[in-house]
Amino acid sequence: MRPGLAWLALIALPTSLSLPALAQEAGPIVAVFDIDDRTRALEEGAVKDLADYLAVLLTQGGWQVVPRDQLRARLKEAQTDSYKACVDQSCQVELGRELAAQKTLSTQIFKLGSKCRVTATLYDLRRAATEKAEKVESDCEPEKLGLALETLAGRITRKLDQAALDKARQAEADRKAIEEAAAKKKILEEELARQKTTEEEAAQRRTQEEEAARQKALAEEAARQKALQEEAARQQALAEEASKKQAEAEPEGGIGDHLGVVGAHLGLLSPGLGDESGVFLEWQAYEGEAETDIGVCLDLGLDFLIGRYFSLGLAVGYLRAETRQTFEQGGSFLHDDTFDYMAFSLRLKGRLPIAEVVELRLGLNVGAGLWIHAPKIEVARDTDRFSFDISSGFAGVAAGGLLEVSWWVLPELGLVFGFGVMAQPTGPIEGPPPPGSGSPETSVTYDMMFPPRLTITLGAEYGF
């Protein structure tokens, strides 16, 4: 027999899916990935149909194909944008192993001149190596490409015509004859060996062979685990690099680098906005007003970050200003007094980084007001006037807004310059009834408020 005849038999027989010896054996399990259309000329539906058709052709050739729907579902879980993004070999190898496939098949369509080239690469997952690659030239219409896929599938599965089958059968017969001769020779050699060796030597040889097989299996498993670990490390490195680039793209500084901040702000309080600059009082037809001068304000706050661009916190505000009141009861005189007011608020801020350590903030405060010391106020109706001290206590709803610029001079310490608006809408407060009102009560409820007024503050914050 010619030396190449046995080699041809060993190649031709396993690759023929129609031989009786292999008719009962299922072909390898293959994951057929979507066709990579490098021409960008085919419609998406046509590319999908061609890939499904290729899977059908491989199935007809006797191979086992991973269901296309199962492959697409797993790809969608593994890829964030689209399952079509898995075109590189590392992605296909990983998903092929997860789906318990033995091989993966990747197909590309290129356009060179007026013709298209269809290529297919078969990758053996167990050996971690490319098993074969085929190419076919075709016209670029979908129908012609379908015929090209039929040719590729035939080459890949190595379907043989009748002449090739006859040649393969003859080669198989030659191979069997060689194997029978080799088997007889081996039997004779083993018989001679048994005659020369003792039972103990034979047992020792078997033990050595088993140990060698075990060591080989362990080495193969170790190599497979190492490959898996290297791939996992590569994927982790890619994820960390992407996370690092995203973090570098975002502005840093400010509360974004902390869980929250605690701060204190001190500043000036304006008399009021427009013509209204005092504290106002009203009961039935009686009205009163105490004009105010520029005062001082103090704000203490605790804010916690919500996302990157918002914070929610608590604020305590303190306002103090001098008041003036002129009485005209038998003469004129100027009465000076002060008011002390506190507001306990819930505060929401929007935060916009405009530099590495600079933020622009817009905020809104809503809470409850409390008169610590209310000023003397003249209450009048027509010519009926009188003055009295108003009791301290709950003053109603307090509301305000603010605009701030923060500069973090240190990683945990920032300076804040702010403008704000503070107002006390109408709220109830107790006081004696006007003498001429005829009220039998010893105390009545007045409506008291002060109009919106500006605050200008400078403060510091500590991030934690």
Contact indicator for 463, 261 with CB cutoff of 8 Å: yes
Q: For residue 312, what pLDDT band results from cuts at 50, 70 and 90?
A: very high
pLDDT of residue 5: 29
Q: What is the pLDDT of residues 343-371, one digit of tens each?
A: 999 999 998 888 878 889 999 999 988 88
Contact indicator for 295, 269 with CB cutoff of 8 Å: yes
Q: Which fold has domain 254-463?
A: Porin (2.40.160)
pLDDT of residue 67: 93
pLDDT of residue 18: 38
The larger pLDDT score, comparing residue 404 to residue 179, is at 404
Domain locations along the chain: 17-159, 254-463
CA–CA distance, 377 with 367 (Å, rounded to integer): 25
Looking at residue 248, its amino acid is E
Helix (H) or strand (E) holding 137: strand 129-138
Contact indicator for 351, 404 with CB cutoff of 8 Å: no
pLDDT of residue 373: 79
| Contacts for 257 with CB less than 8 Å, ≥ 6 apart | 411, 463
Residue 215 has pLDDT above 60, yes or no: yes
Q: What is the pLDDT of residues 369-401, one digit of tens each?
A: 888 877 777 666 666 566 666 666 777 788 899
Residue 324 has pLDDT above 50, yes or no: yes
Of the listed ranges 164-178, 260-274, 306-320, the least confidently predicted one is: 164-178
Helix (H) or strand (E) holding 365: strand 358-373
| Contacts for 274 with CB less than 8 Å, ≥ 6 apart | 451
pLDDT of residue 234: 92
CA distances from 288 to 169, 326, 354, 376 (A): 118, 11, 47, 10
pLDDT of residue 361: 92
Give the whole-number percent of the chain exceeding pLDDT 70.
78
pLDDT of residue 139: 93
The reply to whether 17-159 and 254-463 are identical in fold is: no
Of the listed ranges 82-96, 360-374, 444-458, the least confidently predicted one is: 82-96
Q: Which fold has domain 17-159?
A: Rossmann fold (3.40.50)
| Range 275-297 average pLDDT | 74
pLDDT of residue 419: 92
> DSSP H helical segments within 358-453, as ranges?
none
Record the tokens describing residue 46, joined without a space: 């046509």
Whose tokens are 């085929």? That residue is: 134
Q: What are phi and psi of 75, to 5 degrees?
A: -65, -40
Of the listed ranges 246-250, 337-341, 404-408, the least confidently predicted one is: 246-250
Contact indicator for 321, 295 with CB cutoff of 8 Å: yes
The larger pLDDT score, comparing residue 444 to residue 311, is at 311
